[in-house]
Amino acid sequence: MGDTIRHIALSHVVLPLATAISDAKVFTGRQKPMTEVHFLFAEITTAEGHRGVGFSYAKRAGGPAQFAHAAQVAEGLLGEDPSDIGRLNTQLLWAGASVGRSGVAVQALAAFDVALWDLKAKRAGLALSKLIGPHRDAVSTYNTSGGFLNTPLPQVLENATASVEAGIGGIKIKVGHPDRTVDLQRLTAMREHLGDTFPLMVDANQQWDRATAIRMCRIFEEFNLVWIEEPLDAYDHEGHADLARAIHTPIATGEMLASVAEHVSLIDHRSCDYLQPDAPRVGGITQFLKVATLAEQAGLALAPHFAMEIHCHLAAAYPGVAWVEHFDWLDPLFNERMAIADGRMVVSDRPGLGVTLSDQMRAWTIATASFGEPA
C-alpha cells in the first residue's frame, strides 16, 4: 500500500489591496473598484508526512462560494493515493457534477489539484517545472499592476520605470476608457517613456463593442504593441477571430474562460495569437496542461493570467513563446519571492511550487475547515 491522503486543511483568506484599483469595467459602470482578493488555500498532508499547498482565488465575488464547495467535496480525497492526480481531479468533478464543470465549481477544485501537483513534485525532490518537463529556466515577464486606469499618468510612468529597473521585461497598461482620448494620451506617453522597441501591451478588459474594437485597434497599430488584450467580450470568439484577421497587432485573450471546453472553442475559432489561460480558473494544473497542449498544436503563444507563483512553472514547460504576468499583490501570502532578472522571471529550483505560507496569510484567514487526522 502506498502513501495516502491523511489530512486536508482549507483556508478562506481575504487579501486587502493597498489602493482600490479600477480598469475599464469600472469606468463603464459594470463593476465597482476592487479593494480585496479572496483566496482558497488547500493544504494536503499524507500518512508519510508529505505536504502540498495549492490555491485558487476570486476577485470581487465568489470567494465564499469556492470555500463552501471545496468543503463539501474535500472529504472524498481522504485515504486516496495523492499521486493519482488525474483520477482524483475527475473524482472531484463528479462529486460536484450537479453544479457543472465550469466557473466556481471547478475553481474550488483547483486548490486541491494545485496542492496535489505541489505534493507530487516535493516527493520527487523536484521543482514543479522540472516534474512536468521545462523548456527554459526563466520566462519573459511583464508587469500589469502599475498601469490601472485609476492611477494618474505620472504615477503610471514612475511605476513603469521602477519595474524596468527591477528587471521586468515588459509593461502592460489598461485601456478601454469611455473617452478614447484618455487611452491615446496614456498610451502615447508610455510609448515615448519606454522607447520605440521596449515590449508594451494594452488590455481593454472586454469593454469595446466590435465597431469600437476595430477602430481602436487600427489606431493602436502605430504603437508597436506585443498584443492587444481582451478587446471584446471574452466569449465573443467569432468577433475576436474577425479582429485578429483584420489587424497586424497580435490579439490576446482567454483569462476569463473557466473550462477546457471554453478554450477549445476559442482555439477552434482562431480567436487570438496569445492564449491566456488561468490555472485556478480552469480547475487547476491538470486542466491547464490540457489547454496548453491544444495551444501548442494551434501554434499559439502562451501568456497565463495572474498567479505567477503557479504560472511561472507552467510557462517554463511550454514549448512555444511564453510570457508570465508579474503581480506583486500575492507577495504577503508567501515567505518566498519570485526572482526577476534581465526581463525574465526565474523559475524557482525549490521543490514543488517553491513557496510556503506566511504568518500574514494566516492572519488574513477568515474561515477554516479540517478533514481527516492532522499529522
**Residue numbers annotated as active site:** 174, 305
CB 204 within 8 A of CB 217: no
CA distances from 242 to 122, 251, 284 (A): 45, 11, 30
DSSP character at residue 241: H
| Grid cell listed for 255 | 483569462
Residue with the three cell numbers 488584450: 229
In 3D space, the residue among 184, 158, 185 whose CA is nearest the CA of residue 171 turns out to be 158
**Rounded to an integer, what distance in angstroms lies between the CA atom of residue 171 and that of residue 159?**
10
Residue with the three cell numbers 487600427: 218
| CA count, 13 A, side-chain hemisphere, 87 | 7
**Rounded to an integer, what distance in angstroms lies between the CA atom of residue 32 and that of residue 40?**
22
Pairing of strands 200-203, 227-229: parallel
What are residue 54's phi and psi, to 5 degrees?
Answer: -140, 165
**Rounded to an integer, what distance in angstroms lies between the CA atom of residue 144 and that of residue 203?**
9
CB 42 within 8 A of CB 115: yes
Cβ contacts of residue 235 below 8 Å, gap of 6+? Answer: 256, 257, 262
In one-letter notation, the amino acid at residue 10 is L
Beta-bridge partner residues of 367 = 12
